[in-house]
Amino acid sequence: MVNVKRNTKFKTGCLTITAQHEIWDGNIQDHADQGVSIVVSANVEGRNISLLRFNCFDFEKSYVYGPDNDELEPIIPAMLNDLGPMVQGQR
């Protein structure tokens, strides 16, 4: 189960950026974790669609293209990517 502690939205033109603190339950995901999720979304054909999601958690540091698009086939690892040591603050 994902427990959302706080949710903040910013509107910029046609995009909405949502930042929220999440706590992941280890029984649902493959590991327990917590941190900030940043979701970039837009209105597409009358529906609010997530276009890009950044997981800035303690263990899961990644980004996902088109998390709401079931028809989008991921090209591993290019679309489900580790943020890398520079972005994670490691040098």
Q: Where are the chain's structural domains? A: 2-87
Length of the chain: 91
CB–CB of 20/3 below 8 Å?
no
Q: What is the mean pLDDT of residues 59-77?
A: 69
- Partner residues linked to 21 by β-bridges: 6, 36
Of 3-7, 43-47, 59-63, least confident by mean pLDDT is 3-7
CA–CA gap between residue 21 and residue 38 (Å, rounded): 9
Q: How many CA atoms within 13 Å lie on the side-chain side of 56?
A: 13
What is the average pLDDT value for the chain, to the nearest integer?
76
pLDDT of residue 79: 47
Query: What is the pLDDT at residue 25?
Result: 78
**Whether the predicted pLDDT of 3 surpasses 80:** no
Beta strands 2-12; 61-65: pairing state = unpaired
Q: How confident is the model at residue 41 (pLDDT cuts 50, 70, 90)?
A: very high
